[in-house]
Amino acid sequence: MSRSDPTWLGRYQRAMCDQAGNGQRFIEDITAKRREARRDPVNGKAPDVLHLETMRDLNIATTDAPSMEPMQLSPFEALFLNTLECLEVRDSDHHIYSHTELWQLLAVSSKQADEFALKYAAYFYYRTRGWTVKSGIKFGADFLLYSKGGPSNSHAQYSVIVRRQDTRGTVDESWQYMFALSRVCSQVRKALIVCYVDRPTAKNAGGIHENEEATVPDLTEFQISEFLIERFNPNRK
């Protein structure tokens, strides 16, 4: 599930002192540097490993930069950071998107604007409560929740699936379905949260309606209820 290109061949060539791979730097080098830094506390505190990400600290040549893993943001992360005015989004013509324009762009591209609004409401809910929220697609969920420090310091504690409030009790929410999803979560040491979002009136839901564009929802009108699902193990004391 890595987002970067495979580097095993280049690393093998470098290890074998092949000139074709000698001197190259890879994303695994950053990981090794970070782990080394965590094992070498300074005055009782771990050093600032963020400085290790710079190319100067890794002695990475400009020609090696394309082999590094780029930063990628999900649509929900981009919207959240744009709301905080921490992210500026531009198109190829250097047009700066306003928050409303960015919402319309992402909601329309999702092809399910109503569902997009519900998931963004859930994302915003967890982010504002201090969780680091990442995609949970590889575990069959919508989101993964990490405690402070994020994925670089620990594994996710919770998997979250987002559902409409009015879909409770439908086929997708059958006990067979929930048991299968809970079993997956338990195998990777995560608890499962079902997050039901009660959408506001259609006018303010952030969806697309006839002859209308996607509108930015008022998140204060969404209501969220959570249920923690755990698989019963009769052998557990």
Q: Which residues are catalytic?
A: 146, 155, 190
Q: Residue 158 corresponds to which tokens in the numbers above?
A: 């919770």
Backbone angles phi, psi at 65, to 5 degrees: -55, -40
Q: Which residues contact 197 (CB under 8 A, 6 or more apart)?
A: 118, 121, 122, 162, 163, 164, 165, 222, 223, 224
Query: Cβ distance 105 to 97 under 8 Å?
Result: yes
Helix (H), strand (E) counts: the chain: 7, 5
Q: Residue 48 corresponds to which tokens in the numbers above?
A: 């600032």
d(CA 36, CA 49): 10
The helix-helix angle for 99-110 and 113-127 (nearest 10°) equals 120
Amino acid identity at 170: T
Bridging pattern class, strands 158-164 and 191-198: parallel
